[in-house]
């Protein structure tokens, strides 16, 4: 009797893995409905760019925000240290776009555990407009980006607008694996959630919010201790009865992991953040690792033909998802990396339950159950 239940459990596990993998593939095929038509109004906008350090692509990324097809906007850059190498890039942009109001804030004051949010607090006094767009430094956008992400905010029932994104890898295995984590696991799971009607997400690549909504939730200081500050902004505005809009604009973000250690630290921080803010859903998210889960189901089912057939469908959906989401210049050899990516995902998901500690830049934190963090002093 017990063996029968184990076999049926294995078949059921393989069925769940297959169903999710097929839905994930269909979700990435489904075009997000445009969040708005061409706006009748184009209100003035303040762009916030909190910065720390510079990478090879930083200039191109920041430049894309300065070169927008939009009538009136300002860009506020913020750093904690005048000697930060990104300051030279900002000064170059100010010379390149003299017609744009580009401002640089240098202020090291801290208001909580999050250096990024403290940066935003320090930048806030220079903001002149009623609509804000906050975006990470490693994001690149098209010239119509600002018009599209701001338009939904004209609806008084909208709290924030956020964007899906794709990871662009540098040459090298670790960066490629990092981009696959984004493109072939994280974003498909977001699209599946969106397809089911959920809007319980927000991403640091883009958060558009009105000054009024931000003030109602207590300003940036309300998220000063949050590791998932982007998610928390969405959660707080939804708590006011305001909607989160997932834009049809897909932005690019650079994946710069240069070593196995960089990759593991980054993904563990990501996974433990999700675990903190969505604990129940995270526990059941193992089903999103389709092929390894289906293989485990086949083993439990004792190699039952039905489970093997489901594994084959799961593997096919996984390959189709890869081809749909991969970068245009990717080679067929990347197919051989998929098993490494999937096994690493399962291993890191399992490891994420071991502790609540995360490594962010040069700091170590302990993630609390509410998503806030406490600095960990290393002796």
Q: Is 361 left (phi over 0), alpha (psi -120 to 50) or beta?
A: left
Provide the CB-side half-sphere exposure for 264 (13 A, CA): 11
Q: Which two tokens stand for residue 272?
A: 């433990």
Could you tell me the pTM of the whole model?
0.89
Q: For every one of its 379 residues, what pLDDT tens digit does the chain have, with 9 covering 90 and above?
A: 458 888 889 999 999 999 999 999 999 998 877 665 555 678 999 999 999 988 889 999 999 999 999 999 999 999 999 999 999 999 999 999 999 999 999 999 999 888 899 999 999 999 999 999 999 999 999 999 999 999 999 999 999 999 999 999 988 999 999 999 999 999 999 999 988 888 888 999 999 999 999 999 999 999 998 888 899 999 999 999 999 999 999 999 999 888 999 999 999 988 988 888 888 889 999 999 999 999 999 999 999 999 999 999 999 999 999 999 876 666 677 888 999 999 999 999 999 998 888 777 777 777 777 777 777 655 5
List C-alpha distances in Å: 239 to 85, 158, 159, 371, 377: 39, 12, 10, 16, 34
Q: Note whether 341 and 180 are within 8 A (CB).
A: yes
Torsion angles phi and psi, residue 334, rounded to 5: -65, -20
Q: Where are the domains of the chain?
A: 1-379
The residue written with tokens 């940066």 in the block is 119
**What is the reported pLDDT for 112?**
85
Report the CATH superfamily, name and number, of domain 1-379: Spore Coat Polysaccharide Biosynthesis Protein SpsA; Chain A (3.90.550.10)
**What is the reported pLDDT for 3?**
80
E strand residue ranges, the chain = 45-50, 73-79, 102-106, 131-134, 139-140, 158-162, 165-169, 207-210, 243-246, 251-255, 357-360, 363-367, 373-375
| Chain mean position to CA 146 | 18
**What is the reported pLDDT for 378?**
56
The residue written with tokens 């006094």 in the block is 125
């Amino acid at each position: 009797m017990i063996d029968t239940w184990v076999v049926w459990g294995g078949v059921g596990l393989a069925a769940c893995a297959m169903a999710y993998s097929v839905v994930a593939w269909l979700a990435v095929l489904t075009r997000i409905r445009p969040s708005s038509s061409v706006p009748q109004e184009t209100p003035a906008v303040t762009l916030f760019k909190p910065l720390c350090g510079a990478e090879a692509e930083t200039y191109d990324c920041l430049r894309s925000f300065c070169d927008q097809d939009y009538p009136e906007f300002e860009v506020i850059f913020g750093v904690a240290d005048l000697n930060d190498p990104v300051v030279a890039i900002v000064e170059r942009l100010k010379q390149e776009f003299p017609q744009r109001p580009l401002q640089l804030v240098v202020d090291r004051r801290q208001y909580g555990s999050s250096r990024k949010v403290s940066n935003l607090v320090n930048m806030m006094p220079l903001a002149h407009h009623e609509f804000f767009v906050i975006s990470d430094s490693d994001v690149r956008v098209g010239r119509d980006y600002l018009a599209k992400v701001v338009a939904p905010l004209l609806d008084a029932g909208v709290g924030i607008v956020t964007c899906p994104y794709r990871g662009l890898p540098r040459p090298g295995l670790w960066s490629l694996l990092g981009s696959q984590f984004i493109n072939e696991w994280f974003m498909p799971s977001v699209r599946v959630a969106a397809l089911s009607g959920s809007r319980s997400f927000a991403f640091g690549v883009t958060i558009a919010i009105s000054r009024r909504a931000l003030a109602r939730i207590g300003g940036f200081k309300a998220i000063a201790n949050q590791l998932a500050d982007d998610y928390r902004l969405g959660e707080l505005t939804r708590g006011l009865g305001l909607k989160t809009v997932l834009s049809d604009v897909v932005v690019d973000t650079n994946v710069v992991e240069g070593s196995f250690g960089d990759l593991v630290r980054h993904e563990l921080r990501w996974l433990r953040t999700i675990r903190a803010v969505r604990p129940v859903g995270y526990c059941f998210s193992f089903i999103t690792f389709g092929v390894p889960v289906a293989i485990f189901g086949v083993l439990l089912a004792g190699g039952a033909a039905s489970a093997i057939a489901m594994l084959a469908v799961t593997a096919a959906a996984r390959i189709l998802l890869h081809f749909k989401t991969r970068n245009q210049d990717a080679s067929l050899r990347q197919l051989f990396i998929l098993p490494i990516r999937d096994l690493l995902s399962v291993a890191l998901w399992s490891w994420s339950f071991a502790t609540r500690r995360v490594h962010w830049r040069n700091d170590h934190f302990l993630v609390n159950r509410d998503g806030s963090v406490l600095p960990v002093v290393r002796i």
